[in-house]
Amino acid sequence: MSIDLGTLTIAKARKHLDAGDFTALELAESYLKSIEEKNPEIFAYLEVYDDVREQAKAADERIKKGEKGPMLGIPIALKDNMLVRGKLSTSSSKILEGHRGTYDATVIKKLREAGAVFLGRTNMDEFAMGSSTESSAYGLTKNPHDTSRVPGGSSGGSAAAVGGNIALAALGSDTGGSIRQPATFCGTVGLKPTYGTVSRYGLMAMASSLDQIGPFTKTVEDAEILFDAIRGNDPMDSTSVKDHPTPTLPSKEGRGKVIGVPRDFVGKEGIDKKVLENFEDSLARMKEKGYEIRDISLPRISHSLATYYILMPAEVSSNLARFDGIRFGLSLDGANTIDAYKKTRGIGFGAEVRRRIMLGTYVLSSGYYDAYYGKANKMRAIIRQDLEKIFTEVDLIATPTTPSPAFRFGEKTADPLSMYLADIFTVPANIAGVPAISLLSGFVEEDGKKLPLGFHLMASHFREDILFQAGKDFEASAK
């Protein structure tokens, strides 16, 4: 049978593979052909692996032997900040040019054991610092819906690969919205799981208390399948959660049917009118599906962005200290050790990475630690408490995913603050460590192109199940 990549999902591919309608090799070949045709323009992939066919053949052998599994033979793309044994892993930075993973990240190990087929590594903002994938040291990834616009970031390559039908699914990492924001811009589903539910072992750290690996898929059902494949406690990750209580739902009969809307937060200046109109339409769709829409007040959630841009650079400053030109990656000679450090880091790191390192070093410095980092940590605790309290009254919190559709290249690069504001609705979930999902909620026409928009839902800790159910109901409301 012919394979329609435009409508194919993980769930559909699983049925076809098990029925023998096509093989894992034929499926992989279809994606390799699509990559060959589209990637030169979109540039979602930094590298397509040379062993894709061998991986697919191995999956076919397992299927022939009667082995079952939701990810067996499924082709996926990987963000370039996850270690894959023997493969290049650079975080799209010159300072790690030529670096190869010496072991598999835990999520890679899980997927390899499950029989997934790794297509290649995707472009990203350097060390995951950015909201547009414009800070990559290796070139710009373009939005598959309008190549004059950004795909979002930092996981822009993964989002563009799924949105452009050159990957069936992909993994990304989310520190302040780096899965959900590009998912919106590229018209996919993007999930940021509860902090600690997916191992970070083998993920190059940006901000360790905020980073979380999650999936890009075409449907909520697929996001659930991929999440289930990578979740689980990992003794190699000290922040990995082993046993956790599942919060009860405040709604009647525990059905997860109450959606809270922080109107004072959503209605702030600078939000595109078309985004707000689409958001109201999305709420109406959920109401038709039996959800109660309730206005809530979260006055301190507006401090999330400022809190994030103190905590995150501080952790960046610490985590990126290891890239010194001595142990791995780029290494430049200098008159002495300090001079070698300066040359290597000055040339190896891009402008945005250097900006965040300097900002983080400043807020951690003597005399400023309490004034900035200390206060930000206190505000983080307050925001988390506010969300925990509101989740005793509602099951979900809804906002738009982004304040605007995908913007044009260069539109925000000269104004970092404007770029940072693209994360206003996504950052609170990372600050509090709660799960959140972005759903395709429609399109808006700009300059003759239809650009995707996103509907954003947050739930209490470890309640991804509510996000999946609500997401499926939302998708069903569009049919």
- Catalytic residue positions, numbered: 79, 154, 178
The alpha carbon torsion through 208, 209, 211, 215 (nearest 10 deg) reads 140
What letter represents residue 446's amino acid?
A: E
In angstroms, how far is the first alpha carbon of the chain from the final one? 26
| Crossing angle of the two packed helices 10-19 and 24-42, in degrees rounded to 10 | 150
Residue 189's DSSP bridge partners are 217
CA separation for the pair 373, 352 (Å, rounded): 20
| Crossing angle of the two packed helices 220-230 and 464-476, in degrees rounded to 10 | 160
Among 134, 441, 59, 79, smallest CA distance to 283 is for 441
Residue 192's DSSP bridge partners are 436
* Token representation of residue 69: 């599994």
Q: Which residues contact 289 (CB under 8 A, 6 or more apart)?
A: 473, 474, 476, 477
Give SS3 for 348.
helix
Q: Is the peptide bond before 477 cis (omega within 30 degrees of 0)?
A: no
* Token representation of residue 4: 């329609």
